[in-house]
Structure 1
């Protein structure tokens, strides 16, 4: 499939998006999946369940944090090997929505199984294994979900709609976290008889998160049309899919090398962005002494700020371009993260006023949240502008793969820094190194409108 050498491909799909119009019903249904996925991203992997999993009950915060980091790194390796081919096969087979549904169900089931992770060192590997597997299927679902962005947007609105989707995710996280707080964490006897005995309240949060995710994943499965099946679909086996993948990567590099450069740069900085949220709650509890209720309250505030940042970043994206938004966001993240690392949990005197560790985390942590949203949304919009029609799933599969090919970086550096310096706080340093490396790799990459679109071989 070939395209004009200097014009990004038009969005694909059905409805009116290709004609310069958007179907608001499709956009809302699509964004609903982001709202639902917040139950896994915010509640399970960031602010509640992983905080529970890295508590003293599982062998101590330093040991459990290290095991969690390595577990997520292994999950990333599997994603790196499988994501682009699963995206490609869902594209050619006309089953993008089908596989979004299958992978979403897998995430929900694995999340619900976390109910059986009791607060004991013997259950640490079960908990890490379930979270790692759920992360694997969540990424597969994300490949299909992100590929739909081209179906429901236009070249002039892709940044805004991508930002809207991220914002819906953050707001969904706010609502889910608030319900978790008032229904399971704060009361001595919460919903469904939840108490702190044997971690029952947190284990019930896992069931709640699974139901929440699946309920809000349904609208996109019933609303956005499936993409058409391509004739080549029946001819390709698994080996043929990998062969086609390698030919396309070569074609992209030959005619559009800056697309490859962007995939590599974004892989690094997105790993740092993911680590900010994955380990944010863990650091708040372990380094800054936040109780679980304090972590959740911060998470709610952080998601409000992140949602506002994602919306603002989406509008800026359509006006000044995604690269400027990403660079500015990464600089903001580095400044805020460095302040958290240097100031730590100690008290400091500023103009005669006492600046506590709690204040440090609140102020600088909210700044981190403000900049994460625009970087995530603009990165997705950047690639959506480049993906040729009918190949979005494969491109976002490459997006997931390049991200996961280096996804060991932030978790491993987080774990290694803790091991070297003997304190969880130094895990922050590992995350900052990854963010800085991503920024340096991104600086020479051209804007999407300056990048030619690759001519990819059909066979």
Structure 2
């Protein structure tokens, strides 16, 4: 077999590695401007009947998408391993994501009829982007040496946050802040918020092109698609039956089920919570996202260096504990109070941006979140890459995606249920903190392979 098809790490040059890392740049705007800072808060605040109902709806869509991803990721990963090449899968699921993202343009304010189609578009976009990430991640072990996996993974995450940052600048400077937005978009109809779906779709389709051209892929095995499906499913069944031989991987995947669920919920609901609590609009949320991304970019590059120096496991644990601390800080903020009881003035209409004491405290904890988001996720990707047998990379990254999604539908579901039951957004943070702490504790059972 060729070096590429065997998955040895001499396959990619600098351009190939950079193009692979650019995939994170390509997909990040979907997460940044759609599911976190712009469209999600817009949907919960203006499309749904109330912020609490909107948060519940959003939680249910993420629960459905998470369940589908959890079930199907290992299956697709195993099939891709059997078939060899990963790029065709990446392109296919990128197109699926783009279709879902484009449909969000029709999420008009106060929408009563057709809201199920918008929710379906959110689910479609989310499963498309997540499945494409499974196959791109599976290419990582073949691109560089084990001792430099952390830096390449962290570099990719850092590029991703830079891409998200630029997307936020485009939304703010092109659509939100100007009195007359680009393309004549209507502010009363919230078209600057709705354009984030089509914008992220086009961005994704354009910026995966370098990876498709320059990053080396595993050679196709030559077997038919039907045979690849049968062989892949058989290999997955064998791996699941022999998981006792991969106990260390199992411990890690179980730990990640919890802490990654908490991370995704924290990312997804922090902007929603701020929009409901402080009545932030697109401008405030966009600037908030830009500031967080500056910290996230720094965290990714520092975390990538620490990953290779200290190891992936310490980097994960430190980052998850930092995020748990930040979630407690956010939980401590309510209407007119911070730090569980200290009085703090809320923003007033016409006041300076982020000038109220309550907003200032929230921003401090948000910056801590930004610093630790990237390292926790990049080091997790590095750790599973170091644990994966070369001929099972897709399968193991499919299981990795399962570990990130098997319980990922639980947190949004719990958040949706708790929010519906209490009529408040704040209790969601208790769910998030609990998941982060359980995940950090379970990491004590994980042994990291030597990569020196």
The TM-score with structure 1 as length reference comes to 0.90
Moved more, 207-216 or 61-70: 207-216
Q: Does the 8 A contact of 2:344 with 2:357 survive in 1?
A: no
Shift of 1:352: 11
2:376 equivalent to 1:367:
no
Aligned match of 1:38: 28
Moved more, 324-333 or 414-423: 414-423
Aligned match of 2:413: 412
**Structure 1 CA distance, aligned partners of 2:6 and 2:19?**
14
Return closer, same or farther for 1:177/1:14 CA change in 2, 3 Å cut-off: farther
Q: Does the 8 A contact of 2:12 with 2:215 survive in 1?
A: no
3-state SS of the aligned residue for 2:445?
Answer: coil
**Structure 1 CA distance, aligned partners of 2:256 and 2:415?**
19
2:257 equivalent to 1:259:
no
**Structure 2 CA distance, aligned partners of 1:143 and 1:345?**
40
Q: Does the 8 A contact of 1:288 with 1:361 survive in 2?
A: no
2:108 equivalent to 1:108:
no
Select the residue among 149, 152, 173 that pairs with 1:182.
173
Superposition CA RMSD, Å: 2.4
**Structure 1 CA distance, aligned partners of 2:391 and 2:305?**
26
2:83 equivalent to 1:93:
yes
Moved more, 146-155 or 229-238: 229-238
**Structure 1 CA distance, aligned partners of 2:65 and 2:285?**
25
**Structure 2 CA distance, aligned partners of 1:352 and 1:397?**
47
Return closer, same or farther for 1:345/1:262 CA change in 2, 3 Å cut-off: same
**Structure 2 CA distance, aligned partners of 1:224 and 1:117?**
37
3-state SS of the aligned residue for 1:446?
Answer: coil
CA displacement 1:345-366 (0-9 Å, x = unmatched): 4245999997821011110011
3-state SS of the aligned residue for 1:287?
Answer: helix
Counterparts of 1:319-338 in structure 2, within 5 Å, are 319-338=309-328
Aligned match of 1:454: none
Q: Does the 8 A contact of 2:154 with 2:379 survive in 1?
A: yes
Aligned match of 1:357: 358
Return closer, same or farther for 1:434/1:352 CA change in 2, 3 Å cut-off: closer
Aligned match of 2:446: 445
**Structure 2 CA distance, aligned partners of 1:273 and 1:358?**
22
Shift of 1:16: 11
CA displacement 1:150-180 (0-9 Å, x = unmatched): 1222101000100000000001000010001
**Structure 2 CA distance, aligned partners of 1:417 and 1:239?**
42
Return closer, same or farther for 1:331/1:348 CA change in 2, 3 Å cut-off: closer
Q: Does the 8 A contact of 1:184 with 1:205 survive in 2?
A: no
Aligned match of 2:219: 228
Return closer, same or farther for 1:348/1:235 CA change in 2, 3 Å cut-off: closer
2:290 equivalent to 1:292:
no
Q: Does the 8 A contact of 1:143 with 1:400 survive in 2?
A: yes
**Structure 2 CA distance, aligned partners of 1:208 and 1:159?**
30
**Structure 1 CA distance, aligned partners of 2:62 and 2:52?**
16
Aligned match of 1:158: 149
Give the total of aligned pairs.
Answer: 437
Select the residue among 16, 22, 26 that pairs with 1:26.
16
Moved more, 357-366 or 87-96: 87-96
Aligned match of 2:305: 315
Q: Does the 8 A contact of 2:296 with 2:374 survive in 1?
A: yes
Q: Does the 8 A contact of 1:103 with 1:140 survive in 2?
A: yes
Return closer, same or farther for 1:409/1:326 CA change in 2, 3 Å cut-off: same
Return closer, same or farther for 1:284/1:98 CA change in 2, 3 Å cut-off: same
CA displacement 1:284-331 (0-9 Å, x = unmatched): 101233222111101011111011111111111111111111111111
2:77 equivalent to 1:124:
no
Aligned match of 1:455: none
Q: Does the 8 A contact of 1:414 with 1:429 survive in 2?
A: no
2:383 equivalent to 1:392:
no
**Structure 2 CA distance, aligned partners of 1:276 and 1:123?**
28
Shift of 1:232: 6.5
Select the residue among 262, 266, 271 that pairs with 2:261.
271
Q: Structure 2, unaligned stretches of length 5 or more?
A: 346-355
Shift of 1:250: 2.4
2:69 equivalent to 1:68:
no
Moved more, 368-377 or 403-412: 403-412
Select the residue among 300, 324, 343 that pairs with 2:333.
343
3-state SS of the aligned residue for 2:391?
Answer: coil
Shift of 1:124: 3.1
Shift of 1:187: 2.0
Q: Does the 8 A contact of 1:38 with 1:170 survive in 2?
A: yes
Q: Structure 1, unaligned stretches of length 5 or more?
A: 1-11, 451-459
Aligned match of 2:191: 200
CA displacement 1:205-243 (0-9 Å, x = unmatched): 322221111111111011112212336666736455333
Return closer, same or farther for 1:261/1:195 CA change in 2, 3 Å cut-off: same
Aligned match of 1:172: 163
